[in-house]
A and B are shown apart, each in its own frame.
Chain A
C-alpha cells in the first residue's frame, strides 16, 4: 500500500495530470472562434479587457453583481484554496520560514513559523466551511438543486473529506506532521529515491490525504474542475476589443438640406419665403 500510494502512484499522477490537461486544452484549441461573439458594451482597449477578465477571474465580478451569497461563498472558497495550495508549497519548501526571507520586515524564522501556522489554520478552516456552504446551497436553493448532477455534490463532499483530513493533521496533536518530513519525502520523490521506509508513510491520515489528492489530480483534466482554464478560454472568446466604425453618412450636408427646405411642401416653403 505504501509502495503503491507513496512511491509509484505519484509519478503516474503527475504524468496523467499533465497530459490530461494538455489533451483538454488541445481539444479546445482545435475548435475555432468562428464568428465574433464579443459581448457588448464594448471593451475598447486591451487594458480594459485585461481588467475585465481579471476582475471576473480573481474578484468574481459577475457573482458579486448578481448573487452576493454565492459570491461570498465562492470567493472565500477559492481564495482559501489558493492560499492553502500556496501554503503547501512555501510551507514545505521553506519549512514555514518563508516570511523571514522577505527583506526589510525583520521577521525572525520563529515568528515566520508562527505566522505560517496561523495562516494555514485560518485558511484550512475557511476552506472547509466555504465548501460546506457551497454544498448546503446545492441542497437548499431550489434553482440550484435543479441544475445539480450527483457528481456536483460528490465533488464537494470529496473536497470536504480531503480538506477535513488535512485539518485533522493540522489540529489534532497526535496526528500532527512536521514540515520537515514532508519536505524530505517530496525531495526524495523528485530525485527518484526510495521513500517506502519513511516514517511519514506510516501515518494513515497522511496516506489517505495523499491518495485523495492524487485521485483528484488524475480525474481533474477530465472533469468540470477544468473550469479554471475554461474560464479564461471562454473570456477570450466573449471579451475582446471591439471598436465601432466611425459614423457619418456619405455626401450628407444637413445644413444645406435644411436651407433648401427639403421635405417641406412647396406651398409652405413659398409661405416661408414671403
Chain B
C-alpha cells in the first residue's frame, strides 16, 4: 500500500513477516484503543518524549531547518507538526488542556486515519536531530518519531524493509542476510582485489579466537561499499593489528534502533556482547555506519543486560588518533580529486565525530571543500533512519528529501567537472546518495572516508 488518502507510505511488512520478529499484528477494530494503551505505557517512561509533548511553544524555528520540509513543502513534515500528529492525541487523552479545550489547543480523537498519518510521516523523518540542534529548548523530535515508530511496530505496522532487516539480523547477524560462507568468500575476494589494485597483501580474519580487536563492519560494505571494508583491512594490516571480524555480527548498523528499540535492538546488542566474550577480544572497533554508531556508542550502555567489558570505539577515532600522533604515513596526492564531506547526522549531532573526520580528511586529500553549513549544522542526506524505500512513490519522495543536500553539494563546486568526490562515511548516507547524485546530476562519486584512507596509505 504505497498511498493512503493522499499520503505516501512505504510498503508494509506482511503478517508473516511481522511474526518473524515476534509481533502479532493488532486488528483494525481494536487498533485505536491499543494505540492509546501503548502510548499511555510509553509516555510514562521517556521524559524526552513527555517534554517534547508538553513544552513546545510552536515558534516554528524548526520548519526551515528540516530538510524534509524544505524538500517536500508538506506542512506535516515540519518537525513540530510531525510531533503534533502524536501530540494531538496525547493532549486529548493525557492532558487537562486537551480534555477541556479540545480543538482550541489542537487536541483530536484517535482514529485509524491518525495511525495511518503516523505511518506516513514518521517514516519520512530521518531522525537526524537537526530540529533538536536548532530548537531554542532542545526539543528532540527524533524522540517522538522513535516512539511513534515503536507504537506502530507494536500495532503490527512496520515497513517491509525494516521488518525483514530485523528478521535477517536475528537469523544471521547482519542486515543483508549474508551467511558465514558468503562472508568468508567475499572477504577472500576482497583480499585479491586489494592486492590487484593497491599491491598490498591483506588478510581479513574471521572469527579468529584470541584477537585483540573486533572490527564490526557495515554489512553493506561487503556488497555496496567494498572500498570501505578494503580500506579498513589495509589500515589494520598497516598498523599490524591482531584483529578479526565476527561472522555472527557482521553489522555495524542496528535497524532495531529505527523501529523497535526494545527486542530487535537489544537482541543485537546481546549478540555482540556474546561474540566479544567468545572470541576473547580486548576492544571493539566500529565501522562506518551513522545510526549504528549512535546505537552502539550511546545505547549499548543502557541496553546491555550485563556489564559491558569492552571499550567501544569508532575506526575514525582510532585513525585520527594515529594521524595526530604522526604514526600513519599518508600521501594526500593519491586523492587529488576535489572532495566534499557530507557529515552523517548521527556522527556530528549524536556521537561527537565532527573534528576527527576532518583530521582524517585533511591528511588524506589535497582538495577538501567544506559544505555550507557543515559539522553539527549539516543537513541530512534524506535517507537517515533508513527510509531507503524503493517503491516508486517513496523513491520519488527520496529525491525530494535529498534536495537540500544536492543544493549543498552543488554549491561546493566539487562536481563541476564531473569528477568530484562526495565523501559520506555512513552506509545509509551512501545507499541514499548513490542514486541521488545521479538523480540530481551532481557529477560526484560517493565514497566513504576509510576508502580515502586506504588509498592514501604509504606502504614503503
Contact = CB atoms under 8 A, between A and B. Distances in A.
A226 to B, nearest CB: 6
Interface in A246-274: 247-258, 260-265, 268, 272
Nearest to A146: B75
A36 B238 contact: no
B195 A249 contact: no
B78 A56 contact: no
Contacts of A222: 95-97
A31 B54 CA distance: 13
Contact of B47 (A33, A143, A262): A33
B238 A262 contact: yes
Contact of B46 (A32, A41, A148, A258): A32
Nearest to B99: A222
Nearest to A254: B327
B55 interface: yes
Given A33-B48, A223-B97, A265 B201 contact: yes
Nearest to A272: B460
Contacts of A32: 45-47
A257 B222 CA distance: 26
Interface stretch (B103-111, B381-389, B431-439): B103-111
A62 B106 contact: no
B376 interface: yes
A238 B105 contact: no
A1 to B, nearest CB: 24
Contacts of A65: 134
A23 to B, nearest CB: 9
Interface residues of B, number: 91
Contacts of B460: 261, 264, 268, 272
Nearest to B202: A263
B137 A235 contact: yes
Contacts of A197: none
A141 to B, nearest CB: 7
B48 A254 contact: no
A28 interface: yes
B450 to A, nearest CB: 15
Given A146-B75, A265-B199, A247 B318 contact: yes
24 contacts: A36-B302, A37-B140, A40-B349, A41-B352, A41-B355, A42-B352, A66-B61, A66-B65, A70-B60, A74-B136, A144-B58, A144-B63, A148-B60, A151-B104, A151-B105, A224-B58, A226-B54, A227-B137, A242-B352, A245-B311, A245-B313, A249-B318, A252-B239, A262-B240
Interface of B: 43-52, 54-61, 63-65, 69, 75, 78, 80-81, 84, 95-97, 101, 103-106, 129, 132-140, 143, 195, 199-202, 212-213, 234, 237-242, 282-283, 285, 298-299, 301-303, 311-313, 317-318, 320-322, 327-329, 348-355, 375-376, 459-460
